[in-house]
Amino acid sequence: MEDISAPVCIQIRHVSKKYKSAQENSLTDVSLNIVRSDVFGLLGPNGAGKTTLISILCGIIPPSEGEAAFIIDGKVLSPIERKSRIGFVPQEYAFYQELTPRQNLDYFGAMYNIPKNELLERREYLLNVLGLSKSADDKVETFSGGMKRRVNLAIGIIHKPDILFLDEPTVGVDVQSRNAIIRYLQSINEAGTTIIYTSHHMSEAEEFCKNIALIDHGKVIAEGDIQDLKTQHNVPNLQSLFINLTGEAYRD
Amino acid sequence: MFKIFSSLRKEFLLLINDKTGLALLFLMPLLLVFIITIIQDSAYKMVNENQIALLVVNKDAGKEGGKLVNTLKKSGLFKIDSQDQIEQSALKKELLARGKLIALFIPPTFSAGLESNAQDVSNILMQDLGLESDSTTREKVDMPRLAFYHDPVLQENYSQSVMGIIQSYMGMIENSLMIDRMYASMDLGNKSEVLKEKMISNRVKIDPIVASNNNSTVLPNSTQHNVPAWTIFAMFFMVVSLGSNIVKERINGSFLRLKTMPTTFMLVMFSKMAIYVMVAVLQVALTFSMGIWILPRLGLPQLTVPENLIALLAVTFVSSMAAVSYALMIGAFARTEQQANGFGAISIIIFGAIGGILVPTFVMPAFMQTASNFSPLHWCLEGFYVLFLKGGSWRELGLVFSFLGIFILICQLATYFKLRIERIL
pLDDT one-digit tens code per residue, A192-205: 999 999 988 888 89
Flag whether pLDDT at A5 surpasses 50: no
Query: Whole-angstrom Cα distance, residue B91 to residue B79?
Result: 18
Domain membership of residue A13 as a residue range: 8-246
Q: Which residues contact B49 (CB under 8 A, 6 or more apart)?
A: none
Check whether A246 has a pLDDT greater than 60: yes
Q: How far is B410 from chain A (nearest CA, A)?
A: 26
Could you list the pLDDT tens digit for every one of the 425 residues in chain B? Answer: 889 999 999 999 999 998 888 998 999 989 998 898 888 776 666 655 667 788 999 999 889 999 999 988 888 788 888 999 999 888 888 887 877 788 999 999 999 999 989 888 888 888 888 777 666 666 788 888 999 998 877 777 778 888 998 898 898 888 888 888 888 888 776 777 777 777 777 777 777 665 544 555 556 778 888 899 999 999 999 999 999 999 999 888 888 899 999 988 889 999 999 999 999 999 999 999 999 999 999 888 888 888 888 999 999 999 999 999 999 999 999 999 999 999 999 999 999 999 999 888 877 888 888 999 999 999 999 999 888 877 778 888 999 999 999 999 999 999 999 998 888 87
Number of domains forming the structure of chain A: 1
Q: Is residue A188 part of a domain?
A: yes
* Co-location of B267 and B409 in the same domain: yes
> What local confidence, expressed as pLDDT, does residue B49 receive?
60
Q: Which pLDDT tens digit goes with each residue over B225-252?
A: 889 999 999 999 999 999 999 999 988 8
> With an 8 Å Cβ cutoff, are A110 and B257 in contact?
no
A59 interfaces chain B, CB cutoff of 8 Å: yes
**Does the beta-carbon distance from B254 to A155 stay under 8 Å?**
no
Partners of B17 on chain A (C-beta within 8 Å) are: 98-99, 139
Q: How far apart are the first and last CA of chain B?
A: 22
Chain A residue with minimum CA distance to B8: A107
Same domain assignment for residues B262 and B374: yes
Taking CA atoms, what residue in B is nearest to A84? B262
User: Are residues B37 and B59 located together in one domain of the fold?
Assistant: no
- Of A94, A106, A107, which has the smallest distance from its Cβ to B253's Cβ? A94
Confidence band of A252 (pLDDT split at 50, 70, 90): low
The CA R_g of chain B, rounded to the nearest whole Å, is 32
Does residue B306 lie within any of the structural domains? yes
B260 contacts in chain A (CB < 8 Å): 58-60, 83, 86, 88
**Which of B2, B13, B261 lies at the smallest CB-CB distance from A83?**
B261
The size of the A-B interface in CB pairs under 8 A is: 81
Q: Are A213 and A32 in contact (CB under 8 A)?
A: yes
Q: Is B65 part of any domain?
A: yes
For residues A219 and A27, give the distance between their C-alpha atoms in angstroms, rounded to a whole number.
6
Query: Which pLDDT score is estimated for B129?
Result: 80
The per-residue pLDDT for range B312-331, each reduced to its tens digit, is: 999 999 999 999 999 999 99
Residue A1 lies in a domain: no
User: Does one domain contain both B408 and B264?
Assistant: yes
Minimum distance, in Å, between the CA of residue A156 and any CA atom of chain B: 9
pLDDT, residue A164, reads 96
> Is the pLDDT score of A77 beyond 60?
yes
Which chain B residues touch A84 with a CB distance below 8 Å? 262
Say if CB A141 and CB A97 are below 8 A apart: yes
Give the number of C-alpha atoms closer than 13 A to the C-alpha of residue B214, restricted to the C-beta side: 18
pLDDT tens by residue, A198-236: 988 888 899 899 899 999 999 999 999 999 999 999 999
Q: Would the CB atoms of B6 and A83 count as touching at under 8 Å? A: no
Is B209 a domain residue?
no
DSSP A98-141: TS-HHHHHHHHHHHTT--HHHHHHHHHHHHHHTT-GGGTTS-GG
Domain check: are B39 and B64 in the same one?
no
CATH of the domain at B171: 3.40.1710
Residue B6 sits in the same domain as residue B114: no
Residues B116 and B16 in one domain: no
CA A134 vs CA A139, A167, A182, B410: distances in Å: 12, 27, 21, 47
How close does chain B come to A180, measured CA to CA in Å? 23
Residue B235's pLDDT is 94
Any domain includes A134: yes
CB contact under 8 A, B13 and A59: no
Residue A119 has pLDDT above 50, yes or no: yes
Closest chain A residue by Cα to residue B9: A107
Same domain, B261 and B143: no
Please check whether residues B371 and B352 belong to one and the same domain: yes
**Which CATH number characterizes residue A58's domain?**
3.40.50.300
* pLDDT for res B389: 78
B211 within a domain of the structure (yes/no): no
What is the structure's pLDDT at B38? Answer: 85
Instruction: Give the per-residue pLDDT at B48.
Output: 59
Q: Hey, are the CB atoms on B17 and A139 less than 8 Å from each other? A: yes
Phi, psi angle pair for B359, to nearest 5°: -125, 125
In this prediction, residue A6 has a pLDDT band, given cuts at 50, 70 and 90, of very low
- Are residues B339 and B413 part of one domain? yes
Task: With beta carbons under 8 A apart, name residues in chain A contacting B253.
Answer: 90-94
In chain B, which residues have their Cβ closer than 8 Å to the Cβ of A94?
A: 252-254, 256-257
Distances A160 to A19, A34, A116, A118, B192 between C-alpha atoms, Å: 32, 19, 15, 11, 107
Q: Express as a percent the part of chain A with pLDDT over 70.
A: 96
Decide if A110 touches B, using CB distance below 8 A.
yes
pLDDT of residue B78: 83
Using omega within 30 degrees of 0 as the cis cutoff, is the peptide bond preceding A7 cis? yes
User: Does any domain span residue B207?
Assistant: no
Task: Name the amino acid, one letter, at A175.
Answer: V
Q: Contacts of residue B257 in chain A, CB cutoff 8 Å?
A: 88, 90, 94-95, 108, 155
- The answer to whether residue A151 sits within a structural domain is yes
Tell me how crowded residue B154 is: count the other CB atoms within 10 A of its CB. 13
Number of domains in chain B: 2
Q: Is residue A50 part of a domain?
A: yes
Q: For residue range B171-200, list pLDDT tens digits in order.
A: 888 888 888 888 888 877 677 777 777 777
Chain A residues in contact with B5 by the CB 8 A cut-off are: 110
Q: Look at A95 and B252 and tell me if their CB atoms are within 8 Å.
A: yes
- pLDDT given for residue A2 in this prediction: 40
Q: How far is B17 from chain A (nearest CA, A)?
A: 7
At residue B321, the pLDDT reads 97
For residues A159 and A95, the answer to whether their CB atoms sit within 8 Å is no
Which of A84, A95, A109 is closest, CB to CB, to B254?
A: A95
* Residue B364 falls inside a structural domain: yes
> Long-range contacts of range B350-359, CB-CB < 8 Å, 24 or more positions apart?
B351/B236, B351/B375, B351/B376, B351/B377, B351/B378, B352/B233, B352/B236, B352/B377, B354/B378, B355/B379, B355/B380, B355/B381, B356/B229, B356/B381, B357/B229, B357/B230, B357/B232, B357/B233, B357/B381
In a domain, A172, yes or no: yes
User: Least CB-CB distance to B260: which of A59, A103, A115?
Assistant: A59
B58 and B102 part of one domain: yes
Q: Does residue A194 fall inside a structural domain?
A: yes
Both B37 and B21 in one domain: the answer is: yes
Listed in sequence order, the DSSP H helices in B186-253 are: 192-196, 222-236, 238, 244-252
Strand order through the sheet with A39-43: A86-89, A163-167, A194-198, A39-43, A211-216, A219-225
CB B182 within 8 A of CB B125: yes
| Cross-chain residue pair A60–B254, CB shorter than 8 Å | no
Rg of chain A on CA atoms, in Å = 18
Q: Report the pLDDT value the prediction gives residue A141, as an integer from 0 to 100.
A: 94
User: Which helix H or strand E contains B93, and what residues bound it?
Assistant: helix B88-97
pLDDT value at residue B362: 76
Q: Do A110 and B13 touch (CB under 8 A)?
A: no
Given pLDDT bands bounded at 50, 70 and 90, which one contains residue A3? very low
Domain assignment present for A34: yes
Residue B153 structural domain: 50-201
